[in-house]
Amino acid sequence: MEPNLKTDAKFSVCRKYRYALWRSWDESKPYVMIIGLNPSTADETKDDPTITRCINFAKSWGYGGVCVTNLFAYRATVPSDMKASNEPIGTENDAWLYKLAKEAAIIVAAWGNDGSYLNRSGAILGALLNLHCIKMNKSG
């Protein structure tokens, strides 16, 4: 990680759910919020490949930071493990999504085809404004 990078994350007490993860490099600029499918291994101090890609996108777009959230807060390295969870969304996830969406300069949908699981993408698409995507997949 970069030495001047500020990092933080919000987890459930059991740490099975990650509600938000922040990386900031220029606090004078607004941040982009990226909504993925579900969190993997990244935490307050460690990036995973997805977070590294999110940071690189945000920097290339001229933002000063990125906040990564997810449709499902359950931490899993493969979507099938997340789907096997009895509670994949997480009790605080929607509250964090809506709170952080109000503060973001732009929101990017990046959840892929599995976002339709439990109609999560449909619910979020209907609730958030200022939502963008890099590329539209077959399921919308």
pLDDT digits (tens, 9 = 90+) for 76-132: 999 999 999 999 999 999 999 999 999 999 999 999 999 999 999 999 988 987 789
Number of structural domains the chain divides into: 1
Confirm whether 87 is domain-assigned.
yes
Higher per-residue confidence, 1 vs 106: 106
Yes or no: say if 97 and 63 are a contact pair by the CB < 8 Å rule. no
Structure pTM?
A: 0.94
Determine the structural domain holding residue 46 and report its residue range. Answer: 6-133
pLDDT reported for residue 137: 75
Query: DSSP states of 65-88 as a string?
Result: EEEEEES--B--SSHHHHHTSS-S
34: left (phi > 0), else alpha (psi -120 to 50), else beta? beta
How confident is the model over 5-33, as pLDDT tens digits? Answer: 999 999 999 999 999 999 999 999 999 99
Confirm whether 138 is domain-assigned.
no
Whether residue 140 has pLDDT greater than 80: no
How many Å apart are CA 73 and CA 87, to the nearest integer? Answer: 9
Confirm whether 110 is domain-assigned.
yes
Which CATH number fits the domain that encloses residue 79?
3.40.50
Confirm whether 92 is domain-assigned.
yes
Q: How far is CA 74 from the centre of its chain?
A: 12
pLDDT reported for residue 88: 99
54 pLDDT tier (thresholds 50, 70, 90) = very high
Higher per-residue confidence, 131 vs 67: 67
Confirm whether 140 is domain-assigned.
no
4 pLDDT tier (thresholds 50, 70, 90) = confident
